[in-house]
Chain A
Amino acid sequence: MTQQKWEPKIVAFVCNWCTYAGADLAGTSRLKYPANTKIIRVMCSGGIDPVFILKAFERGADGVLVSGCHPNDCHYNAGNFHARRRWDLFHKLLDFVGIEKDRLQFSWISASEGKKFADVITKVTKDIMALGPFKAYQNMNSEFTIEFPELEAVALKEMLHEEEVSDGRA
């Protein structure tokens, strides 16, 4: 088997009203950007709990992006203002305990900024590429993980098939 090139896994928590619509616009405008980012839509950037980010790192994310409406544009008036203070502190805290600053990034992207969305995703992906994989967190309790023996080929195929179907439905 040939050695596959490492691709970063990035999770983006985006707000429903601005950034997600911006991502939609990027798509309908057929803008090109790296496909490493998995988008999770939430109602407001103020509703993203910092444990979401920890959980993402714990499950093997190499980087996380949090994005919402521009200040003064929040659908709920003040969600992003509250979020801004919180994220500023959380970013500083993660930096202090030794998680590189660029692993967690933030942006304001409005519904009309499809281009900015593509640019931000490109930049974040580039930054994370430069930092390399983030395994330190995920592997912190690797002594408690084991390798399961390979399932029989048939069973494995069935399992994959099932996942495809369920993905399709979702």
Chain B
Amino acid sequence: MEEKIITKEDLLKLCDDIIAKGHTLLAPGIAEYVPVTNASQIQLDSSALPTKASYKSYVFPKAEPILYYKRSKNDVQLIDADVDGKKIIVLGAKPCDTNSINIMRHLFNWDYEDKFFDLRQKHFIIIGLMCNSFDDYCFCTSVGSSPVSEEGSDLFLIPLDEETFALRIVTEKGDEFIQQYSGFLKEGDETRSFAVIEKVKHPEKAFDSKQVHEWLGNNFESPKWDGIGNVCLSCAQCAFVCPVCHCFDIVDEDYSYSEGRRMKNWDGCQFGHFTLHASGHNPRDIQSKRYRQRVNHKFRYYVDKFGQILCTGCGRCSRGCPVSIDIKEIVANCKD
């Protein structure tokens, strides 16, 4: 791990250069990560809470065409949709966001390689920023992450004081990227940044993920699910703001008599019709079964399959839930 020092002024100059080169620069805005057009808009605030939505939609868009079709008399013409391989730099990503692409990568490269996801994530540079605050809904420490986790970041920023940051080079991709800006960097030593990191307050660990995993395996029919199912209203807000929820629906849309496109759209497991079969049978017909699926998928199935918890502990789903269902509380309650 290499560590450099960069001043805030130089960092913003670097951002201006990224924008001038025509790359997309994302930074946390009021509600979501937004493309920045001018470096002066950037607020590098390590004490800000996670935005309402993550930058998931830039690597896995809410709606994207995967192919186009045109019918004629004897055949169907098919054209694969292209992915624009535009470079995207995320600046100031929260440690609870940085690992999201790594987590989703397992799924998108499991039995079929999703070229849309792969091409997009290849062009992603993630510059993480240490997090120095948490609220009642944060639980990154419970899912094996932390407010100072560098996992998933290519470069990682640690604010040393008002004007300077320590910049850690985490991956080769990050190294390659920052080399072109080596003029902005000064040599740093780790003692200062370690001192900052040590002072960071971590949210209290709410549950032990291994115990939760075991409990879920033994308590599929637990009556605990019923209580949650009564309150949940079956929207998919939680899934859509989640940085790692990745379910999608494939639909064909025609835009004229003979032409159309096949779309890949976000879908959410809390919708009643998510598992509705063509026969009319619905294996998850009531809300308690759907919520059980949500928790099991995140803390058991995904772990079994890919050895990774499908949750970053950002707490977005709970913060925004219209009926204030707190996933941390529910998972912490997954014990006898």
B interface, how many residues as a size bin? 10 to 19
- Contact B68–A146 (Cβ < 8 Å): yes
Interface positions, chain B 245-267, Cβ under 8 Å from A, are 255-256, 259, 261, 263
Cα(A148)–Cα(B67), bound, Å: 12
State the CA gap A145–B254 with chains docked (Å).
10
Chain B window 50-83, contacts with chain A (Cβ cutoff 8 Å), 1 for yes, 0 for no: 0000000000000101001010111001010000
CA of A145 to CA of B77 in the docked complex: distance in angstroms?
A: 14
Contact B72 A151 (CB under 8 A): yes
Q: Are A148 and B70 in contact (CB under 8 A)?
A: yes
Given known A146-B79, A148-B77, contact A159–B72 (CB-CB < 8 A): yes
Cβ of A88 under 8 Å from chain B: no
- Choose among A144, A156, A158, A159 the residue with the greatest number of B CB atoms under 10 Å from its CB: A144
B73 and A158 contacting across the interface, CB-CB below 8 Å:
yes
User: Is the pair A144, B79 in contact by a Cβ cutoff of 8 Å?
Assistant: no
- Write out, one digit per residue, whether chain B residues 257-300 have a CB within 8 A of any chain A CB (1) or not (0): 00101010000000000000000000000000000000000000
Distance A98 CA – B68 CA, assembled complex (angstroms): 31
Interface flag for A155 (CB, 8 Å): yes
Question: Which A residues are in CB contact (< 8 Å) with B74?
Answer: 155, 158
User: Does A162 have its Cβ within 8 Å of any Cβ on chain B?
Assistant: yes
Q: Please give, as numbers and ranges, the residues of chain B lying within 8 Å of A59 by CB-CB distance.
A: 256
CB distance from B76 to the nearest CB of A (A): 11
Consensus secondary structure, chain A interface: helix
Check if A148 sits within 8 Å of B259, measured CB to CB.
yes
Question: Which residue of chain A lies nearest to B255 when distances are taken between CB atoms in the complex?
Answer: A145
Compute how far the CA of A148 lies from the CA of B259 in the bound complex, rounded to whole angstroms. Answer: 9
Using a CB-CB cutoff of 8 Å, which residues 79-113 of chain B contact chain A?
79
Report the bound CA distance from A156 to B72 in whole Å: 8
Q: How many Å lie between the Cα of A102 and that of B38 in the bound state? A: 41
A146: B residues at CB distance < 8 A: 68, 79
**Contact yes or no, B79 A148, CB < 8 A:** yes
- The interface residues of chain B lying within 8 Å CB-to-CB of A148 are 68, 70, 77, 79, 259
Q: Which of B73, B74, B256, B261 has the most CB of A within 10 A?
A: B73
Most buried by B among A148, A155, A156: A148
CA distance in complex: A145, B263 (Å): 11
Instruction: For residue B69, give the distance in angstroms from its CB to the closest CB of chain A.
Output: 9
* Residue interface bits B166-204, CB-to-A below 8 A is 1, else 0: 000000000000000000000000000000000000000
Instruction: Write the nearest CB–CB distance from A140 to chain B, whole angstroms.
Output: 11
Residue contact B72 to A145, C-beta cutoff 8 Å: no
A88 to chain B, nearest CB (A): 31
Q: CA separation between A162 and B259, bound complex, in Å?
A: 16
Bound-state CA distance A144–B64 (Å) is 8
Kindly report which residue of chain B lies nearest to residue A151, judged by CB atoms: B72
For the complex, give the distance between the alpha carbons of A59 and B63 in Å.
Answer: 20
CA distance A155 to B71 in the complex (A): 11
**Whole-angstrom distance between the alpha carbons of A128 and B74 in the complex?**
38
Of B68, B73, B79, B255, the residue contacting A159 (CB under 8 A) is B73
Partner of B261, one of A145, A155, A158: A145
Q: For A145, what are the chain B residues with a Cβ–Cβ distance below 8 Å? A: 255, 261
A39: min CB distance to chain B, Å = 18
Distance between Cα atoms of A20 and B335 in the complex (Å)? 69
Minimal beta-carbon separation of B135 from chain A (angstroms): 37
Closest residue of chain B to A157 (Cβ to Cβ) is B73
Q: Establish whether residues A162 and B70, one from each chain, have CB atoms under 8 Å apart when the complex forms.
A: no
With A145-B255, A145-B261, A148-B68: A162-B79 Cβ-Cβ less than 8 Å? no
Q: Give 6 nearest A-B pairs by CB, closest first.
A: A148-B70, A144-B65, A159-B73, A158-B73, A159-B72, A146-B68
Which residues of A pack against B, CB within 8 Å? 59, 144-146, 148, 151, 155-156, 158-159, 162
